[in-house]
């Protein structure tokens, strides 16, 4: 006489197999490239895995340290600092796009600025004012490095300033900083004074 199958046991086995499949798919995805929690969750759900299994798998990967949004965001900022010069606004947008929530993204950028201050000041002297000054200095140095890669075309000074400033703004640097640095460079290389009104086309 054939044994009757227990529907509940079968259901539990199927659920366990599905959960195992999701965990394996998540691990495979992470082996290809690091991802944020949100990015991996969206990828797995889009691939058709059940949400409850996806969330359980991600919670497990967070628990064992294979997913760490803070570490991922910090690594992303480090790689961008090494590869090209970008402003905080552009970096914030990229962190958001890669699945880092606003609060963590802002904190990572603040830590990046504070780290710049702490590397040049004694810990006991790192007041908020010092941190802010160094944050501004770090962004200005990045902007100057980016500006150095842009070439002058030797045309009208006003047009040159506008072109360079727009090039910096596209890289995420603040408008006022972009115009000031562009004006300084054009004045230095053309030996022609450029007023703020002329430079900004007012």
Same-domain pairing of 40 and 102 = no
pLDDT tens string 22-63: 888 888 888 777 889 999 999 999 999 999 989 988 988 888
Same-domain pairing of 37 and 61 = yes
Q: What does pTM read for this prediction? A: 0.53
Closest alpha carbon to 104 in 81, 64, 79, 71: 71
Supply the mean pLDDT for the chain.
75
Same-domain pairing of 58 and 74 = no
Between CA 194 and CA 163 the distance in angstroms is 14
Same-domain pairing of 126 and 81 = yes
Contact 135/117 with Cβ under 8 angstroms? Answer: yes
**Domain, as residue range, for 161:** 150-202
Between CA 53 and CA 149 the distance in angstroms is 48
Q: Which of 67, 83, 108 is the last residue of a domain?
A: 67
Same-domain pairing of 59 and 113 = no
Q: Which tokens in the block code for residue 20?
A: 């195992």
5 domain-assigned: no
Q: Which tokens in the block code for residue 123?
A: 């810990």
200 domain-assigned: yes
Higher pLDDT, 186 or 62: 62
> How many domains are contained in the chain?
3
Q: Which tokens in the block code for residue 132?
A: 């802010």
pLDDT tens string 68-81: 999 889 888 887 76
Same-domain pairing of 123 and 73 = yes
Between CA 184 and CA 22 the distance in angstroms is 56
Same-domain pairing of 44 and 23 = yes
Q: Which tokens in the block code for residue 22?
A: 């999701």
Q: Which tokens in the block code for residue 87?
A: 């402003």
Same-domain pairing of 75 and 138 = yes
Q: Residue 23's domain is classified under what CATH number?
A: 1.10.10.10
Range name among 9-13, 54-58, 135-139, 177-181 with the lowest pLDDT average: 135-139
Q: Which of 143, 165, 185 is the last residue of a domain?
A: 143
138 domain-assigned: yes
Contact 36/104 with Cβ under 8 angstroms? Answer: no
Between CA 127 and CA 118 the distance in angstroms is 10
Higher pLDDT, 169 or 147: 169
Same-domain pairing of 60 and 109 = no
């Amino acid at each position: 006489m054939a044994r009757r199958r227990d529907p509940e046991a079968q259901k539990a086995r199927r659920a366990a197999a599905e959960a195992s499949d999701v965990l394996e798919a998540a691990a495979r995805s992470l082996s290809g490239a690091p991802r944020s929690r949100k990015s991996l969750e969206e990828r797995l759900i889009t691939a058709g895995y059940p949400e409850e299994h996806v969330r359980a798998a991600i919670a497990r990967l967070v628990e064992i340290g294979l997913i760490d949004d803070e570490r991922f965001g910090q690594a992303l900022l480090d790689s961008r600092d090494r590869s090209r010069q970008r402003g905080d606004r552009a970096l914030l947008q990229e962190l958001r796009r890669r699945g880092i929530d606003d609060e963590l993204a802002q904190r990572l950028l603040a830590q990046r600025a504070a780290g710049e201050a702490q590397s040049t000041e004694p810990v006991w002297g790192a007041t908020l004012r010092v941190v802010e000054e160094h944050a501004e200095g770090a962004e200005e140095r990045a902007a100057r490095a980016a500006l150095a890669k842009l070439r002058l075309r030797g045309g009208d000074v006003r047009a040159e300033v506008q072109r360079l400033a727009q090039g910096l703004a596209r890289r995420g640097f603040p408008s006022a900083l972009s115009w000031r640095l562009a004006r300084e460079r054009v004045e230095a290389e053309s030996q022609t004074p450029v007023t703020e009104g002329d430079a900004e086309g007012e």
